[in-house]
């Protein structure tokens, strides 16, 4: 504890002596301010932050007690005390010795106070980090950093159980529906809560730092450090970094991380010396797609009930009511929708056909609200069944012959291209049908536009992570699929439907997307990669891989393999978005990664840092582990090398080209002499007529791991010292001679982390053993790299026998 206070007190002594203690830094006992336009504020010593009354734009007579950025035109709030009960004009805030800050309305009603139970307050201080503190004689009795609103600031730490709460809207500071908290198990989660209670629903984002008995240590604190990095500090002091590497000096930039009113946790930056109209820019945010990431059993989801969530170009959720439905609260676009008509099970005056019509929404679903599944069923029968069922509000027709009927209120509504063209048949009362109650809906332009926007928006987000976040939905569907599989077997198989989330493109579409294959961005054993762009409501970039003409493959095999690739989903794998299979034209459409490959990163200038290299090594190992052991069909990559590892904008490693070895050469037995790897990374069994197993990837990973550790190519003929030409040999020699420093010379970070360097080299030597059975599995590799598993002394990776 004493340690924690030391910096604070040294800071206090450095405070400039101020002639006006009321306005700078130090707030004395008895000082007060009142809520009015020109009320005085307390300013931090540097002037960066101000504390005082903030007038609400929505009602000029109401004020928030708040802390905001004082030097930039956009006086963004970083903390507020009374979002739920704004203070009327004339309210007064006073600092008292026994009760801390007390906020009273003009009528004397207590609106808010600091909870300080444990001492007498000597003074209040707003420091240059934006932290408002009440100081006792030798301790901090209260601080705004420990009682956050929706924002955390650099140097702030959140202990377990301390939550950020979103506000209700941009301008309404009352408690909103989203919450972020480091749970007692050490996992950082974002959840919706069911207002007005505190009930938290299933998380829509998890950091995965709960820890488990045999590997990682659980999270202990959320830390936002001075340099602008957010990480979960584990109990063993390791860091689980959430945000990307920051370029440039944190001294020139304000950082804040806010749980926005739409549920997205966002790290923003803003230049300190703002010239004119600079603004907050997003550095990082989670989750990628809140619409599909959020799936709750007893709440409304990311949007309100009966609403549909879609992402805009900035990956922010937009909520909208379907046709025939309107907002319950017209001022809350993110709230619930209500039908514009009533439907009851009373006898209707006319036939159902005359009363109701269906609005068809493609790729829209409200998972978890169904009360009946009918199958096998045609779309027409599905409509008819819903039409004559007075409970039915919407029917989902999908997967060729399945019809799910759903009742109100609909929850978790989302647009999800992963639904592969599935239809939502929304039952709405015809506008010119006989009245059935107080409503007599009239047709309006507005309705049409709503509808059109929705339909337009449907297929937009292919390729965003919409795609993978919807796995949960897919899993549910798969569940149904299995339950009814038995029945299905007796039916003719539906040929047209691929059971994945992949989109099938026409050749023409891809010619257009790539501007006639104009910009080549890569070339490999399997084909040429072109940059492309899909134009929907907005443009997003893709990488289109045109496969070399396949040898003896059948249409069925191509589909099966693409299907297997399409079913993979992992942070460290490049996402496949779709494919084209038209005649001889076989193309794969992938997400586009702007940061190039590990090859250009690793061997380029400037050299990547040791921590980036280790992060990349962990990423590749996890990706391979997934391919080998965790996805539904085991995938052997066969061509692991730096050129095949791409980097996203946060420097996360993503393995590309997986699954292609089998796809392109599926009809050849492994005894074929055609070697499928790349020189320098190829395991010896390729030359030896031994079975090809996942261990070939382990070998290549070993070579790559050495390259990452030493930041040089595996074969370097230009090396001035001959014995250094072959990295694997040199590394083993250095290891045996105890001269590992030579491998990372001039790299101070690595030299200061000798333990890890040694561990990495040892693991690599294990990976490049000649005998595949000696090589560890990728699971063991990841555990050894992470230091969970002890690394035994590796034997020499020498050939079994010297071959001529």
Angle (nearest 5°) at CA 658 between 700 and 610? 50
Q: 251: which 2 tokens?
A: 């001294």
Using CB under 6 A, which of the segments 210-218, 361-369, 482-490, 614-622 binds ligand NAG?
Answer: 210-218
The residue among 330 and 492 lying less far from ligand NAG, judged by its C-beta, is: 330
Residue 41 binds to ligand NAG (criterion: CB under 6 A) = no
The residue among 165 and 782 lying less far from ligand NAG, judged by its C-beta, is: 782
Query: Distance (Å, rounded) from C-alpha 80 to C-alpha 64?
Result: 6
**Binder to ligand NAG among 12, 210, 373, 726 (CB under 6 A)?**
12
Closest CA to 26 of 103, 116, 95: 95
Using CB under 6 A, which of the segments 31-39, 66-74, 595-603, 748-756 binds ligand NAG?
Answer: 31-39
Bond prior to 324 in cis (omega within 30° of 0):
no
**Binder to ligand NAG among 106, 349, 434, 444 (CB under 6 A)?**
444
**Binding map of ligand NAG across residues 268-307, x = CB under 6 A, - = no contact:** --------xx------------------------------
Query: Distance (Å, rounded) from C-alpha 52 to C-alpha 93?
Result: 9
Query: Distance (Å, rounded) from C-alpha 218 to C-alpha 231?
Result: 13
**Binding map of ligand NAG across residues 95-124, x = CB under 6 A, - = no contact:** ---------------------------xx-
Query: Which residues, 6 or more positions from 463, have their beta carbon under 8 angstroms from its beta carbon?
Result: 534, 540, 542, 575, 577, 578, 589, 591
The residue among 233 and 638 lying less far from ligand NAG, judged by its C-beta, is: 233
Summarize the chain as % helix, strand, coil (round to 5). 25, 25, 50
Query: Distance (Å, rounded) from C-alpha 286 to C-alpha 263?
Result: 9
Supply the minimum distance, in Å, between the C-beta of residue 594 and ligand NAG. 22
| List 150, 639, 648, 657, catalytic entry | 639
Residue 729 binds to ligand NAG (criterion: CB under 6 A) = no
b/e burial code for range 293-310 (CB count within 10 A of at least 16 → b): bbbbeebbbbbbbbbbbb
**Binder to ligand NAG among 46, 85, 225, 541 (CB under 6 A)?**
225
Please indicate whether residue 697 is annotated as part of the active site.
no
Specify whether the CB–CB gap between 206 and 188 falls below 8 A.
yes
The residue among 337 and 593 lying less far from ligand NAG, judged by its C-beta, is: 337
The residue among 443 and 691 lying less far from ligand NAG, judged by its C-beta, is: 443
Closest CA to 433 of 340, 345, 505, 495: 340
Specify whether the CB–CB gap between 51 and 132 falls below 8 A.
yes
The residue among 171 and 342 lying less far from ligand NAG, judged by its C-beta, is: 342
Residue 788 binds to ligand NAG (criterion: CB under 6 A) = no
The secondary structure of residue 629, as a DSSP letter, is I
Using CB under 6 A, which of the segments 41-49, 172-180, 222-230, 366-374 binds ligand NAG?
Answer: 222-230
The residue among 3 and 674 lying less far from ligand NAG, judged by its C-beta, is: 3
Sheet with 32-34, edge to edge strand ranges: 32-34, 92-96, 100-104, 110-113
Residue 340 binds to ligand NAG (criterion: CB under 6 A) = yes
User: In this structure, are strands 317-320 and 308-311 parallel, antiparallel, or unpaired?
Assistant: antiparallel
The residue among 473 and 627 lying less far from ligand NAG, judged by its C-beta, is: 627
Closest CA to 11 of 143, 158, 146, 125: 125
Residue 215 binds to ligand NAG (criterion: CB under 6 A) = yes
**Binder to ligand NAG among 61, 354, 435, 439 (CB under 6 A)?**
439
**Binder to ligand NAG among 9, 28, 421, 538 (CB under 6 A)?**
28
Closest CA to 454 of 292, 328, 294, 320: 320
Question: Is 495 labelled a binding residue?
Answer: no
**Binder to ligand NAG among 71, 146, 239, 670 (CB under 6 A)?**
239
The residue among 122 and 537 lying less far from ligand NAG, judged by its C-beta, is: 122
Residue 527: strand pairing partners: 524, 547
Closest CA to 320 of 291, 292, 294, 342: 291
**Binder to ligand NAG among 15, 210, 360, 455 (CB under 6 A)?**
15
Residue 151 binds to ligand NAG (criterion: CB under 6 A) = no
Residue 229 binds to ligand NAG (criterion: CB under 6 A) = yes
Residue 185 binds to ligand NAG (criterion: CB under 6 A) = no
Secondary structure (H, E, C), 67-96: EEECCCCCCCEEEECCCCCCEECCCEEEEE
Q: Number of C-alpha atoms within 13 angstroms, CB side, residue 428? A: 27
Residue 447 binds to ligand NAG (criterion: CB under 6 A) = yes
Q: At what angle are helices 727-737 and 695-710 packed, to 10 degrees?
A: 70
Closest CA to 92 of 79, 74, 107, 81: 107
Residue 137 binds to ligand NAG (criterion: CB under 6 A) = no
Residue 112: strand pairing partners: 103
Residue 214 binds to ligand NAG (criterion: CB under 6 A) = yes
Using only the alpha carbons of the chain, give its radius of gyration.
30
Supply the minimum distance, in Å, between the C-beta of residue 553 and ligand NAG. 37
Residue 227 binds to ligand NAG (criterion: CB under 6 A) = yes
Supply the minimum distance, in Å, between the C-beta of residue 779 and ligand NAG. 8
**Binder to ligand NAG among 115, 185, 226, 354 (CB under 6 A)?**
226
**Binder to ligand NAG among 194, 217, 274, 326 (CB under 6 A)?**
326
Using CB under 6 A, which of the segments 48-56, 321-329, 542-550, 700-708 binds ligand NAG?
Answer: 321-329
Residue 198 binds to ligand NAG (criterion: CB under 6 A) = no
Q: Which segments are annotated as binding site?
A: 545
Chain positions contacting ligand NAG, by CB under 6 A: 12, 15, 26, 28, 36-38, 122-123, 212, 214-215, 225-227, 229, 231, 239, 241, 276-277, 323-324, 326, 340, 439, 441, 444, 446-447
- Catalytic residues, by residue number, are 639
Q: Which segments are annotated as binding site for ATP?
A: 545
């Amino acid at each position: 504890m004493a340690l924690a206070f030391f910096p604070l007190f040294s800071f206090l002594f450095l405070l400039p002596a101020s002639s006006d203690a009321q306005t700078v830094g130090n707030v004395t006992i008895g000082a007060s301010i009142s809520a009015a336009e020109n009320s005085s504020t307390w300013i931090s010593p540097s002037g960066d932050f101000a504390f005082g009354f903030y007038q609400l734009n929505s009602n000029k007579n109401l004020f928030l007690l708040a802390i905001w950025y004082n030097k930039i035109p956009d006086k963004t709030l970083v903390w507020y005390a009374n979002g739920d009960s704004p203070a009327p004009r004339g309210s007064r805030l006073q600092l008292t010795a026994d009760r801390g800050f007390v906020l009273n309305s003009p009528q004397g009603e207590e609106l808010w106070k600091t909870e300080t139970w444990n001492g007498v307050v000597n003074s209040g201080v707003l420091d240059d980090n934006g932290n408002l503190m009440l100081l006792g004689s030798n301790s901090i009795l209260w601080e705004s950093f420990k009682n956050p609103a929706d924002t955390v600031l650099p140097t702030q730490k959140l202990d377990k159980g301390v939550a950020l709460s979103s506000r209700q809207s941009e301008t309404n500071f009352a408690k909103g529906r989203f919450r972020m908290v480091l749970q007692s198990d050490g996992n950082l989660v974002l959840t919706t809560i069911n207002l007005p209670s505190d009930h938290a629903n299933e998380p829509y984002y998890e950091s995965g730092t709960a820890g488990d008995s045999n590997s990682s240590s659980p999270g202990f604190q959320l830390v936002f450090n001075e340099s602008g990095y957010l990480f979960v500090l584990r109990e063993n002091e390791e860091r689980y970094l959430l945000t990307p590497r920051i370029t440039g000096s944190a001294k020139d930039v304000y950082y804040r991380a806010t749980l926005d009113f739409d549920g997205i946790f966002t790290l923003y930056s803003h230049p300190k010396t703002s010239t004119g109209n600079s603004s907050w820019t997003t550095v990082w945010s989670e989750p990628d797609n809140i619409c599909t990431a959020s799936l709750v059993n007893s709440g409304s989801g990311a949007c309100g009930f009966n609403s549909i969530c879609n992402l805009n170009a900035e990956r922010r959720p937009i909520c909208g009511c379907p046709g025939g439905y309107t907002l319950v609260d017209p001022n809350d676009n993110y709230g619930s929708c209500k039908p514009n008509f009533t439907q009851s099970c009373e006898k209707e005056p006319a036939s159902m056909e005359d009363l109701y019509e269906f609005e068809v929404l493609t790729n829209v679903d409200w998972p978890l609200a169904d009360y009946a599944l009918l199958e096998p069923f045609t779309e027409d029968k599905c409509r008819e069944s819903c039409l004559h069922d007075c409970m039915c509000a919407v029917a989902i027709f999908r997967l060729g012959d399945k019809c799910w009927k759903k009742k109100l209120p609909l929850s978790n509504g989302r647009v999800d291209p992963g639904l592969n063209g599935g239809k939502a048949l929304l039952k709405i009362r015809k506008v010119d049908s006989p009245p059935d109650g107080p409503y007599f809906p009239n047709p309006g332009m507005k309705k049409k536009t709503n509808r059109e926007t929705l339909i337009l928006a449907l297929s937009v987000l292919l390729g965003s992570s919409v795609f993978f976040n919807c796995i949960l939905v897919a899993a549910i569907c798969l569940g149904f699929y299995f339950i009814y599989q038995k029945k299905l077997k007796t039916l003719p198989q539906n040929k047209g439907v691929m059971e994945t989330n992949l989109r099938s493109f026409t050749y023409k579409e891809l010619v257009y997307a790539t501007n006639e294959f104009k910009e080549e961005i890569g070339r490999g054993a399997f084909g040429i990669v072109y940059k492309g762009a899909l134009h929907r409501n907005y443009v997003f970039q893709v990488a289109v891989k045109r496969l070399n003409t396949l040898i003896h493959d059948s249409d069925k095999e191509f589909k099966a393999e693409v299907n297997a690739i399409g079913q993979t989903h992992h942070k460290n794998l490049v996402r496949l978005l779709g494919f084209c299979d038209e005649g001889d034209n076989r193309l794969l459409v992938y997400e586009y990664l702007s940061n190039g490959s590990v090859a250009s990163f690793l061997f380029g200038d400037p050299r990547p840092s040791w921590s980036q290299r280790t992060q990349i090594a962990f990423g590749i190992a996890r990706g391979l582990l997934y391919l080998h052991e965790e996805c539904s069909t085991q995938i052997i990559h066969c061509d692991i090398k730096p050129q095949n590892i791409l980097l996203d904008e946060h420097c996360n490693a993503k393995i590309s080209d997986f699954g292609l070895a089998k796809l392109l050469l599926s009809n050849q037995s492994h005894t074929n002499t055609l070697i499928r790897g790349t020189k320098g990374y190829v395991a010896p069994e390729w030359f030896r007529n031994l079975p090809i197993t996942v261990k070939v990837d382990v070998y290549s990973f070993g070579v790559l791991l050495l390259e990452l550790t030493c930041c040089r190519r595996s074969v370097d003929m230009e090396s001035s010292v001959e014995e250094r030409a072959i990295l694997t040999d040199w590394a083993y020699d250095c290891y045996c001679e105890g001269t590992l420093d030579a491998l990372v010379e001039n790299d101070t970070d690595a030299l200061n982390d000798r333990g890890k360097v040694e561990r990495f080299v040892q693991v690599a030597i294990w990976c490049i053993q000649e005998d595949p059975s000696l090589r560890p599995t990728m699971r063991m590799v990841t555990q050894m790299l992470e230091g969970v598993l002890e690394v035994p002394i590796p034997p020499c990776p020498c050939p079994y026998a010297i071959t001529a």
